[in-house]
Amino acid sequence: MLRLHKDKKNEKEREQKKEAVVKEQQEEAEEELSVLSKKGKGAVKKIITDVDATVKEAAKESLKQLRLLEEGRCPECGRKTKQFLFTSICPYCGWSSFISPQQKGRMTVHLKDGTTLQCDSTFDTQKGNILCIRDDVVRMKVPSTNISYIEFGWTEEEVAERRKQKEMEETAICDWCGKTAHRAEMLVTFCAFGTYQERYLFCSPKCMLSFQNQYPMRIHRDCYHRRCQECDECIKKYYDTSSKKILSVEEVAKET
Ligand SMILES: [Zn+2]
Ligand SMILES: [Zn+2]
Ligand SMILES: [Zn+2]
């Protein structure tokens, strides 16, 4: 979501930058256009059609990439990306999306000679250069070969805030009714049908109760009534229950 926001903002910025570039090139283009006009209207028309086709093709490609990103997939190879707090990375083809810290001057480019460059954001030109941007101005173009590493200066507060935000964004599927819900708001239950403890998520107390009623006898390890941390019966354990609500059948019955 954050990325999409950024893309929109970038689009605006690009619009503005485009104007300056366009003005510069306009004179030149007009000259060429007048030469072409002499050759006939057909030549000009053909160029306009070509441009339209290119723009259309690019728009189609952007839309496709957007959809893939929304599905948590790599816009380049279409496979599942790995989600980190501020970044998505494709472990298959190496594609990545980086978000720079919002506050200024937090990107530190460490050069191989030991010196550092401070900027708001960096941009990889994909042509062997990194652009250092400060106050919306490209201040430096640094050959990637001179760079040792680039440091992202996130504060602990930013990390904590993003973690919270991400948890709210994350969705999961209810193991009973199949509905999608925010993961942070779902109820969780652990149970072992075999020797492996599994985690089940539910969108509502009703769904969890239905599940537990459906499978009461088959859970021989009494997973519904004890916390995973306190149990040695199962091979697989879950410790990450801090943010999730664990309710027993009795508690659920009381709530509904
Ligand atoms: Zn990929
Ligand atoms: Zn449900
Ligand atoms: Zn257990």
Q: What is the pLDDT, as a whole number, of residue 11?
A: 64
Phi and psi, residue 52, nearest 5°:
-55, -45
CA 111 to ligand 2 centroid distance, Å: 53
Q: Which residues have a beta carbon within 5 Å of ligand 2, which is an ion?
A: 174, 176-177, 179, 203, 207
Over residues 30-58, the mean pLDDT reads 82
pLDDT in tens, 74-116: 999 999 999 888 888 999 999 988 787 877 888 999 999 999 9
The dihedral sign for the CA sequence 110, 115, 118, 121: negative
Spell out the residues 6+ positions from residue 49 whose beta carbon is closer than 8 angstroms to its own.
none
Domains contained in the chain, CATH given: 2-70 (no CATH), 100-152 (2.30.30.100), 171-255 (no CATH)
Q: Which ligand is nearest to the CA of 237?
A: 3
Instruction: Return d(Cα 165, Cα 85) in angstroms, integer.
Output: 9
Q: Which ligand is nearest to the CA of 186?
A: 2
Q: What is the pLDDT, as a whole number, of residue 179?
A: 93
**In Å, what is the CA distance from 193 to each residue of 190, 196, 223?**
10, 7, 10
Maximal C-alpha separation, the chain: 88
Q: What is the pLDDT, as a whole number, of residue 213?
A: 82
The pair of three-digit structure tokens given for residue 132, joined into one six-digit string: 């250092």
Q: Which ligand is nearest to the CA of 210?
A: 2
Q: Which ligand is nearest to the CA of 220?
A: 3
**ipTM for the complex shown:** 0.57
